[in-house]
Amino acid sequence: MSAPVLSVRNIEKSFGGIQAVRGVSFDVHKGEILGLIGPNGSGKSTLFNCILGQLAPDAGEVHVTGRNVSKMRASDLNKLGVGRTFQQLSVFPKMTVLDNIILAGQEHHGTMLSRLFGPSDAGLTQQAEQLISFFRLTHLRDTLAGSLSYGQQKLVDAAMALMAGPSLVLLDEPAGGVNLTMLANLKERLVTYNAEHGTTFVVIEHNMEFVMSLCTRIIVLAEGHIIAEGKPEEIRANQTVIDAYLGG
């Protein structure tokens, strides 16, 4: 088996006296869609932020395709092939959908100087249009992203995370605030994308139905520990998980 795309090693993080994450380790392999779930206060957001370098862990390391990425700047992490979305909507509202998507790819082409003197779309229009059409947004290509509906903006957001052709994508609560039709649409697109490109996904999410139907494997956190790990149907039947969620 090849090296894991993402390898999390003994991450620990505390705030003041409270230990939010207590030594969590796991690997994610190519092509997986891993769900990271847990009740409120289980430490999943903290763990997620440690993986992405938003928070500095007290101990432990994060490796992406074998490279230690702790202390790496977000832009460098992205260039290494890690795409992400944020919990809050994160499109650029006063740019068109096309410009949003092109921006997400342009920094991966050429040098700073060659971008200044090269074509204004960095040669990415066609690729961006393909992605826009993949998310069925073609009719909105030249609309300002800020004037789209919430669900449409979520799709643009996801498309931006995929534009640079990352090997690993981290989605932070992609289902939050999205209506059912849109959610089904988003899930179906992500699964198709994963099947076509073999891109690895890590999803942190509250919405259980969404996670269960999207992910190939699920890790459950509670009180900073991993309490269960397995396929969706195993998790569904796991008594420890049920207890944790019911506050047992």
Kindly list the residues in this chain that would bind other proteins in the complex (CB under 8 A). 73-75, 78-79, 84, 86, 88-95, 99, 102-104, 106-108, 112, 115-118, 120-122, 139-140, 143, 148-152, 154, 160, 163-164, 176-179, 181-182
How far apart CA 28 and CA 64 sit, in angstroms, is: 10
Smaller CB separation from other proteins, 41 or 151 = 151
Structure token digits, residue 94: 């006063």
Q: Whose Cβ is closer to other proteins: residue 105's or residue 224's?
A: 105
In the complex, minimum distance from the CB of residue 100 to other proteins, in angstroms, rounded to a whole number: 9
Q: Which is nearer to other proteins, 84 or 187 (CB)?
A: 84
- Nearest distance from C-beta of residue 57 to other proteins, angstroms: 19
Least spacing, CB of residue 239 vs other proteins, in Å: 32
Question: 145 vs 228, which CB is nearer to other proteins?
Answer: 145
For residue 45, what are the CA distances in angstroms to 29, 40, 55, 118?
Answer: 21, 9, 10, 40
CB of 4 to other proteins, least distance (A): 22
Rounded distance, CA 211 to CA 204, Å?
A: 8
Asked if 220 contacts 229 with a C-beta cutoff of 8 angstroms, the reply is: yes
Element holding 55 (H helix, E strand): none
User: Taking the CA of residue 243 as centre, how many other CA atoms within 13 Å lie in the half-sphere pointing to its CB?
Assistant: 7
